[in-house]
Amino acid sequence: MKNIFDAPFLKEMESATANMYRLGWDERNGGNISYLLNEEDVGEYIYLEHIIRKIPIGFEAPELAGRILIVTGTGKYFKNVKSDPETNLGIIRIGKDGSTAELLWGWDDGGKFTSELPAHLMSHIARLSVNPENRIIMHCHPDYTLAMSQLHEIDEKSFTRDLWGQMTESIVVFPDGVGVLPWMVCGNNEIGVATANKMKDYRLVIWTLHGIYGAGRNMDETFGLIETVEKAAKQYILTYRLEKKNTITDENLAELAKAFNLNYRKDFLDLK
């Protein structure tokens, strides 16, 4: 067996949580990440037949039965993951029944997975149905995205258009736009279903007055999506209600889409 503390997937979780904390996206126990792993990769580091504990998930995810994920823990702080991954993270396998998490490693203080596991698993199922290569679901509370969600109407077309309009890179990074949910109670199946429904069309979903969900094939892609939305939201806030001398027009966005061969949400632009 190789040393789990050298596992690339563990290092990716450590650096993602450390970076997110450093950027102020994950105060206290805010935020959560789940990462679908390949059985062969995990099997090099832990015995897959050794189940430490079985933890009820609270809903059924038969689509993910047998799948293994590394997940942040409930009540755990992102700032502490790097110095103590075994307490703050867990590796779980979804049991054959689809409603039990088999703990294979981690949460050595008796802890368990994030309270947002329903939203994560349902989002994985939704994203996998669109892109079988999707492996990451990431949630956090970035400042400017949160501030923008206080000021902006809850409308996917205008929210996306306003993010795209802040800077040239936006439409290039997220041509599929952002989904937006109204304020909801978090941590339950209802918000999980609502998030997963949006995830069928978007890799990014804003939770109004709470934060953002991102999905991607790997950690960099997912992190980069959220980072780019947050940067655009920062521009929105920095220039809010100020007189703008220069703007990106719908025609400019269409030019960008052509130049970068983007498969973008054409219905989000009003082209003449």
**Binding-site ranges for ligand 2HA (CB under 6 A):** 29-32, 114-116, 139, 186
27 vs 108, beta carbon nearer Zn ion: 27
Kindly state the smallest distance separating residue 210's Cβ from ligand 2HA, in Å.
Answer: 7
Contact partner at residue 114 from ligand 2HA, Zn ion, none, CB < 5 to 8 Å by partner kind: ligand 2HA
The residue among 114 and 170 lying less far from Zn ion, judged by its C-beta, is 114
**DSSP codes, the chain:** ---GGG-HHHHHHHHHHHHHHHTTS--TT--EEEEEE-HHHHHTTS-TT---EEEE-SS--GGGTT-EEEEEBTT--GGGTTT-HHHHEEEEEE-TTSSEEEEEEE-TTS--B-TTHHHHHHHHHHHHHH-TT--EEEEE--HHHHHHHHHS-S-HHHHHHHHHTT-THHHHH-TT--EEE-----SSHHHHHHHHHHHTT-SEEEETTTEEEEEESSHHHHHHHHHHHHHHHHHHHHTTTSPPS----HHHHHHHHHHTT----GGGS---
192-231 residues near Zn ion, rule: CB under 5 A: 211
Annotation marks residue 116 as catalytic:
yes
Q: Residue 186 or residue 254: which is nearer to ligand 2HA going by CB?
A: 186
Please identify which of the residues 12, 116, 156, 227 carries the catalytic annotation. Answer: 116
Position closest to Zn ion via CB:
211
With CB under 5 to 8 Å by kind, the binding choice for 32 among ligand 2HA, Zn ion, none is ligand 2HA
**Any idea which residue has 């590394």 for tokens?**
70
Q: How far is the CB of 162 from ligand 2HA (least distance, A)?
A: 24
The distance of closest approach from Cβ of residue 144 to ligand 2HA in the complex, given in angstroms and rounded to an integer, is 17
Residue placing its CB nearer to Zn ion in the complex, 85 or 211: 211
Nearer to Zn ion, 211 or 214 (CB): 211
Minimum distance of Zn ion from residue 141's CB (angstroms): 6
* Closest separation in Å from C-beta 259 to ligand 2HA: 37
* Residue type for position 2: K
Which residues are near Zn ion by CB under 5 A? 211
Catalytic residue ranges:
116
